Amino acid sequence: MTRILVVDDEPQILRALQINLRARSYEVITAATAKEALRAAAQQPPDLVVLDLGLPDFDGGEVIRGLRGWTDVPILILSGRTQSREKVQALDAGADDYVTKPFAMDELLARLRVLSRRSIRGEDQPEVVIGDYTIDLASQLVTGPDRESGESVTVRLTPTEWKLLEVLVRHPGKLVSQRQLLAAVWGPADHPDSSYLRVYMGQLRRKLERDPSRPRQLLTEPGMGYRFSP
């Protein structure tokens, strides 16, 4: 089920959206402030974001940048500001669409369909291979031969290990900066020390790489980040 995060400080708009979206069987989570929004997005990563620019605590642009620091989730801006300057700013900051209030509900829904259509396109590659192991993104399963018996066994990954692996595998071949990884796994807050990363990468390698001390797929790019090489 597609999960939508709706951020707006006007309760009646929040309610109207909630009702209409739930009726289309979206899962809806809501936030009324910028802080709430970022926290909610980190805890339950949404597939779509509907964002009002006029929030009480921070500017909506801050939310866009806060999200774009670690996720590519499509963002639709819903705002009362009609000036094209505002629109350009929001779109260039990383938003994907901009609808001005008052708005037609059916148009908004159509635009959301467009966004979810696009974002799903690249994601379907449910199986990835690392050495002897097969990773099934969809069912969150890692299978491979046992160390000695050779039988096919499922490898146990902890939630943190899984999130880390997922981020890397979803950007095959690309370098993923430590910032990105930390934000994706531990939330958008600032993480000055990246020692978690080293620990968990080590654990992943120990579970997935044939020779953990000489990784062939879970590569380190010193000073920059990590890379999953398919």
Partner DNA sequence: CCGATTCCTCACGCGTTCTTCACGGGCAGA
Partner DNA sequence: TCTGCCCGTGAAGAACGCGTGAGGAATCGG
Question: H or E segment at 51?
Answer: strand 48-52
Please report, as residue ranges, which positions from 164 to 193 form the binding site for a second copy (by CB under 8 A). Answer: 173-175
Q: What is the chain's percent helix, strand, coil content, to nearest 5? A: 40, 20, 35
Q: Is 107 helix (H, G, I), strand (E, B) or coil?
A: helix
Our finding on whether 122 is near a second copy (CB under 8 A) is yes
What's the Rg (C-alpha) of the chain?
20
CB atoms closer than 10 angstroms to residue 226: 22
Residue 47 within binding range of a second copy, rule CB under 8 A = no
207 binds DNA (CB under 7 A): no
Half-sphere exposure of 39 (CA within 13 A, CB side): 7
Minimum distance, C-beta of residue 16 to a second copy, in the bound complex (Å): 15
Q: Is 138 in the site for a second copy (CB under 8 A)?
A: yes
Binding residues for a second copy, per CB under 8 A? 72, 84-85, 87-88, 91-92, 95-97, 104, 106-107, 109-111, 113-114, 118, 121-122, 138-141, 158-159, 162, 173-175, 221-224, 227
Residues making contact with DNA (CB under 7 A) = 156, 158-161, 178, 186, 193-196, 198-202, 205-206, 212-213, 215, 220, 222-225
